[in-house]
Every structure is written in C-alpha cells, then in structure tokens.
Amino acid sequence: MADFNQILDAGDVDGGLINVVVEIPVGSNHKIEWNRRIGAMKLDRVEPLIFAKPTNYGFIPQTLDEDGDELDALIITDQPLATGIYLQARVIGVMKFVDDGEVDDKVVVVPADDRHTGNAIQTLADLPPQLIKQIEFHFNNYKALKKPGSTQVTHWGDIDEAKAVIRESQHRWTAEK
C-alpha cells in the first residue's frame, strides 16, 4: 500500500478543502488505524458492536495531533466509505476531544463534491441535532466498558477553529520530520 503521508498533503486548509484518508467505515466496530511506520492499515482491535462508529472515520495526511497520531476526521456521508480510499473534503467544524488525558481532536468534514445532497451541509449547524448527540455520546462512552470516564468531548468548534487545529497539526508534522 502507498504511504499516504508521502503522496498526499493536507490540501487547501485556508480554502477549507482538505484531503482525508478513510480508516473506518460508518457502522463498523473494527478499530482500523493507519500505521505510518510500515505504510499500511492495521486492525488494532474489535470493539463491542454497541460502539460501532457513528460516522466514517479517517485522518488528514501530513498532520500530527497532540497525541502523536495523524489528525482525525469524522466524515459525514449517508453511506459507508471503504477503508483506504481518500477524498477531498470540505471542513465544517471540529469536535474538541480528550482521550486518556491527551488532546485527540476530530475535524468534521463532508465530501467536497456531494451533488446528491446538493451540498446542503456547510457548517455543523446544518447537521441533524440527533447526529451531533449520537457522535458526542459515542466518543464520551466508547471506552466505558474498559476504562470509564477516560474520554470527553469538551466542545464543538466552527470552521475557523477547525482550520486552526489543522494548521497546528501541520506545524507539528513539519517539526517532526
């Protein structure tokens, strides 16, 4: 498999159009993670089915979040996306998140060219409130069976805050190289 971090960059962060690589399809309870050391996707673990992902889940190439991994992305679509594909996505916000005491933010995106829905989703406010509640519940509780209280959604941020998080993660990536 190609090393996404060598081929793809984060995209046009200032313009709000970024590249995202899919790790986990919506509805999957498989925790699949990109292993940049060997350049392949790895099945890290199988979660209880009750904690299947409420959205597609992936990462933004050439970024590092404060936890040392690529910056995560929650990809909003009405169908699952396959592991290993990449897409150009439009930034609509960020979910500020702490996992085991480490910052582990999630940038929220939609496909850049989603003509089927008429590009109706422009910001977090355009998402159904129930979906926001489901995402927040998932991330606040997905470790509850093994380590209760170890995860917390701290707040939701707008597009500008999301872009700032991406830029900070790009700087970390550059400094790491």
Binding residues, as ranges, are 31, 45, 57, 67, 72, 104, 142
Cβ-based neighbour number of residue 63 at 10 Å? 27
Q: How far apart are the first and last CA of the chain?
A: 21
Report the binding-site residues for Mg(2+): 67, 72, 104
The Cα-based distances of 73 to 145, 146, 148, 149 in angstroms read 24, 24, 24, 22
Report the binding-site residues for substrate: 31, 45, 57, 142
- What DSSP designation does 145 have? T
CA pair distance 158, 91, nearest whole angstrom: 9
CA pair distance 66, 85, nearest whole angstrom: 25
- What DSSP designation does 78 have? S
Q: How many CA atoms lie within 13 A of 146 on its CB side?
A: 6
Report residue 61 as tokens. Answer: 């190439």
- Three-state DSSP state, 175: helix
